Structure 1
Amino acid sequence: MNNRLRPQAKFCPWLLVCFIVFSSNLSASAINASFTGELIEIPCTFSNSADLDFDFKDVVAQEIDGINHAVEQRVDVSCYSTAILPSQLLSLTINGAHLAGAADNIVDSGLPNMGIALTNSTNGNGLPLGQAIKDIGVAGASSMSFILKATLVNNSPNNSSLDVGDFSTDLVLSAKYE
């Protein structure tokens, strides 16, 4: 009985080697993969890539009426002259926290019921958050500017009094040719 087990023990390593060799030949068929793309320059920058700071300073809460207490900043959009830009309009997108229950161009200030309305002071149009704004540039332009107006608004029911305190918010402006 002891002799019968020995040949089987010698045969097992050979069987294992055969299994490994044959199983490696059973892989899936090969396919080709191709990669394509286009390397482009960053087409546009805002105000030489400097942050914009809208400082309202101290404001009396009862005076916030959506008209007074506005701050304006010139926003320069410069596109590289070496960039190949399509002839469509330049579009701007502003992303930030929207004040719930307010118009789509009202940013949440961080204080309850107080927002900051964003408009293009050049043409008076509201600048809605998260949407492409296409009426700010001209076809084929490599640079342009507009005046971004930020106005404090009271969005409380019946213009009731607002909570006092510090407020702040951050926005991200992005531009592209579409």
Structure 2
Amino acid sequence: MPDIIAQDLRVLFCGINPSLYSVVVGHHFARPGNRFWPTLHLSGFTARQLRPSEQDELLERGLGITNFVDRATATADLLANEELKQGARSLEAKVRRYKPRVLAVLGMGAYRTAFARPKAGLGLQSETLGTTRLWVLPNPSGLNAHYQLKDLARLFAELRSAVDKG
């Protein structure tokens, strides 16, 4: 899956890895039931709910998308921990190159494994990647039953508010 990325984004969202469905259709978070696009809208990042096929419009809003791991799987738990750790090293280089204000990692377990931060929680992290702040959010996959859409929207809105304040 090609990244949706540009220099100096407000937020670069980092998924764990693309779904098989997303790779087939060529758009991030495209699997039916994924709540990324509704959450972006409900949290105020977008004025309307974008379709996955409109992903390039994110760049106009200072937003982008990347993944820890490029390999598509049916579920993220099929990834090896070493894949996530290698992904973090690649992601760090990408972040240092593109310099987004915030890297928002979508998946606490993936963040904990990839960055060797076993006690990390949601929200703003104390670490940075260069000048980029790190923020952890729940994974919006429909398979993540721990968070309902309203909860995801509230947590994403906290990030949007922090980014808007500078």
- TM-score, structure 2 as length reference: 0.27
Larger radius of gyration: 1
Higher strand share: 1
- Which protein is richer in helix relative to its size? 2
Name the TM-score, length of structure 1 as normaliser: 0.26
